[in-house]
Amino acid sequence: MKKSLIGKNLDEFSDLCIELGLENFRSKQLFNWMYRNEVNDLTELKNLPKSLIEDLKIGHCIHPLELINSTNSSSEKTNKFLFKTQSGALIESVLMNEKNRVTLCISTQVGCALDCKFCATAKMGFKENLSVGEILDQYLLARQKINKPITNIVFMGMGEPFLNYKNVIKAAKLLNDPNGINMGSKRITISTAGVISKIEEFTKSKEKFKLAISLNGTTNEQRTSIMPINIKNSLDELLNVARRYTETVNRWLTFEYVLLKEINDSVEDAKRLLSMLAGMKKCKLNIIPYNETDGEFRRPDKDQIENFVIALRPAKFPITVRWSKGTDIDAGCGQLATRNQV
Ligand code: SAH
């Protein structure tokens, strides 16, 4: 299998230059071709000698992913992209068009190991981690296809980003690199189901990207019943690391809360949420009315959602309700699962 050039950082391009017996300034050229000039074929690398291109071609390719299909939702506000990895696995990304914002939701793993009961990706089980190149290429290929700038990236597609931590952080750094894609760190959000050790690592290394935590429950019992990760990463500990995060980095933290009918949608839940998040510095709460998949879970009725939101009114922190886009093409949160395997 050929190694992809997309996914390498400048140091890795330098190593490649040593391997191929080239002067180091070539590493910068290769970096630019990949992330600034967005080339698709090695022959497009015009400032490189032909012999070098021939050498490169033997063991390397540019893109680790192949675009298999893209769909538009009826509202034309959402596009879903299906990609094939080099190992033959299928992954999805979703593009959401709003007024001034074009957000791409990207995958970090094939399948997922966490088994959240309400999530379609969980049904696939865990298949493999995506490489740095496979994470990044979802952005590069989607961008070419839509032919307009993507303003925001959310790591909220298939998989648990913090169980593929090293590759996710490396990909985020490449997206952010001012010499390359140059997407601002505040426009890059990583969402975790609550892997405590990795939230600690993220805090300690003071990563500048935005963090979101999927809370989804207000008691341990309730959260464990829908998110088995809560057995080893309990609610109290999760809130403690979240608090330490906001105090250490002084950045906004988003809590996501998927609203599930008769599971976590009562007024008592809303009140518990208020007290859980009361002392938290700089946090936001994002309520996501459930997008139904083939499972047993349901979205609460409009009245219930409204009651829940009304009960949250005393909150001192900002609250948003996210009506997912693209649910008609199964591109809403938690609806990503690749049925057609190659
Ligand atoms: N594993 C990461 C990122 C993927 S899920 C995480 O858990 O954060 C992204 C968000 O979608 C999470 O907040 C998750 O709880 C939510 N979600 C999952 N399935 C959903 C569904 N069917 N409807 C609405 N939101 C869902």
State how far the Cα of 155 lies from the Cα of 158, in Å rounded to an integer: 9
Asked if pLDDT for residue 76 goes beyond 90, the answer is: no
Q: With 80 as the cut, is the pLDDT of residue 335 above it?
A: no
For helices 267-277 and 302-311, angle between their N-to-C axes, nearest 10 degrees: 30
CA gap 193, 119 in Å, rounded? 12
User: pLDDT tier at 339 (50, 70, 90 boundaries)?
Assistant: low
**Which residue, judged by its Cα, is nearest atom 1 of ligand 1?**
160
Q: Tell me whether residue 12 is one of the annotated catalytic residues.
A: no
Domains and CATH numbers, the chain: 3-61 (1.10.150.530), 87-329 (3.20.20.70)
pLDDT at 138 over 90: yes
Task: Work out the average pLDDT over 301-305.
Answer: 95
243 Cβ neighbours under 8 A, 6+ residues apart? 279, 280, 281
Q: Which of 103, 109, 110, 119 to mutate to test the pocket of ligand 1 (most atoms within 8 A of CB)?
A: 119
Which amino acid appears at position 62 of this protein? I
Active-site entry in 17, 105, 283, 333? 333
Nearest residue by C-alpha to atom 24 in ligand 1: 290
In whole angstroms, give the CA distance from residue 310 to residue 267. 9
Cα–chain center distance at 13: 25
Q: What is the mean pLDDT of residues 292-309?
A: 94
The pLDDT assigned to 325 comes to: 65
* pLDDT (mean) for 194-209: 97
The amino acid occupying position 256 is: E
Q: What is the DSSP letter of 164?
A: S
- Write down the pLDDT at residue 204: 97
Nearest CA to ligand 1 atom 3: 156
**How far apart are the C-alpha atoms of 184 and 291, rounded to whole Å?**
30
Query: Does pLDDT of 234 surpass 90?
Result: yes
Nearest partner of 168 among 112, 107, 215, judged by Cα: 107
Instruction: Give 217-228 pLDDT, tens digit per residue.
Output: 999 999 999 999
**pLDDT tier, 11 (very low <50, low <70, confident <90, very high otherwise):** very high
Q: Residue range 151-166: average pLDDT?
A: 98
**Residue 333 annotated to the active site:** yes
Percent of residues, the chain, with pLDDT higher than 70? 96
Q: For residues 331 and 80, is the Cβ–Cβ distance under 8 A?
A: yes
At residue 323 the predicted structure's pLDDT band, cuts being 50, 70 and 90, is confident
Q: In the predicted model, is pLDDT for residue 308 greater than 60?
A: yes
Which residues line ligand 1 at a C-beta cut-off of 6 Å?
Answer: 118-119, 156, 160, 191-193, 214, 216, 256, 258, 288, 290-291, 293, 333-335
Report the separation in Å between the CA atom of 52 and the middle of ligand 1, taken as the mean of its atom positions: 45
What pLDDT does 340 receive? 46
Q: Name the amino acid, one letter, at 341.
A: Q
Question: Contact, 63 vs 134, CB < 8 A?
Answer: no
Cβ pair 85, 65 in contact under 8 A: yes
Pair 291, 327: CB distance under 8 Å: yes
Query: Residue range 140-167: average pLDDT?
Result: 95
Name the H helices within the chain: 10-19, 25-35, 50-59, 132-146, 165-176, 196-204, 220-226, 235-249, 267-277, 302-311
* Confidence at residue 341, expressed as pLDDT on a 0 to 100 scale: 43
Q: What is the pTM of this model?
A: 0.95
Q: How confident is the model at residue 330 (pLDDT cuts 50, 70, 90)?
A: confident
Q: Among residues 325, 246, 320, 310, which one has the least CA distance to residue 286?
A: 320
Banded model confidence at residue 74, pLDDT cuts 50, 70, 90 = low
Residue 342 confidence (pLDDT) above 60: no
Residue nearest to ligand 1 atom 4, measured at CA: 156
Helix (H) or strand (E) run with residue 258 in it:
strand 253-259
Mean pLDDT across 278-303: 93
